[in-house]
């Protein structure tokens, strides 16, 4: 209540001026205020349009690049699998294949980091801060590293069954089945 009290006082102070205006004067005053607001945010809107265009171009470039890299990685992993399924395994070829797969993954990770750096160069400090807050909230909800997952379930491709929390209750350890975040019968 204390936070809004100054605003309440400002409204009370402005009320006599506003109540004295006719309907036509109120409409004119409202139009004037809307124009002032539009002029004030016009530069921000232009900047947002420019940012959006840059981000979309970056996304398209990254999408095409990553699609190509994923295809190469898939092919390299398929070759590696065939080498491992051979009746007689050629260790040198397998190790060369491991190096190839590792190098492709390293290259993809570098491209991802370049993308993040480029995105950060486009955003304002306020936008970056808000993005970090949203990512932290997402990690909290998903139970990913950096998020608090005490007693919560994670549902993702890597989960096999329910995870159990071990809690100390005096001298004995007690395993509990945590609540599932999603409706499931597990």
Confidence of residue 38 (pLDDT cuts 50, 70, 90): confident
pLDDT at position 148 over 60: no
Residues 6+ apart with CB under 8 A from 94: 80, 83, 84
Higher pLDDT, 125 or 144: 125
Closest CA relative to residue 101, chosen from 142, 135, 70: 70
Report the number of secondary-structure helices (H) and strands (E) in the chain. 4, 2
| Strand-pair partners of 169 | 172
Q: CA-CA distance, 47 to 43, in Å (whole number)?
A: 6
pTM of the model: 0.52
* Mean pLDDT for the chain overall: 81
Encoded tokens for 9: 């006082």
Q: Which of 117, 89, 91, 65 is nearest to 73 (CA)?
A: 65
pLDDT at 17 over 90: no
Q: Is the pLDDT of residue 91 over 90?
A: yes
Contact 115, 142 (CB under 8 A): no
pLDDT digits (tens, 9 = 90+) for 115-142: 999 999 999 899 999 989 998 998 888 8
Please give the pLDDT value at position 179: 54
């Amino acid at each position: 209540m204390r936070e809004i009290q100054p605003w309440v006082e400002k409204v009370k102070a402005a009320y006599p001026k506003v109540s004295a205006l006719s309907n036509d004067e109120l409409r004119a005053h409202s139009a004037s205020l809307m124009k002032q607001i539009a002029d004030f945010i016009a530069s921000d809107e232009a900047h947002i349009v420019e940012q959006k265009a840059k981000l979309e171009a970056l996304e398209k470039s990254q999408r095409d690049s990553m699609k190509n890299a994923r295809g190469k990685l898939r092919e390299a992993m398929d070759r590696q699998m065939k080498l491992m399924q051979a009746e007689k395994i050629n260790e040198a070829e397998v190790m060369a294949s491991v190096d190839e797969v590792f190098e492709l993954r390293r290259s993809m990770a570098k491209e991802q980091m370049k993308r993040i750096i480029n995105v950060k160069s486009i955003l304002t400090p306020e936008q970056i801060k808000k993005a970090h807050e949203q990512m932290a909230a997402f990690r909290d909800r998903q139970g990913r590293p950096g998020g608090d997952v005490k007693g919560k379930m994670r549902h993702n491709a890597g989960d096999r069954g329910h995870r159990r929390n071990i809690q100390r209750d005096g001298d004995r350890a007690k395993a509990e089945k945590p609540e599932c975040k999603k409706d499931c019968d597990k």
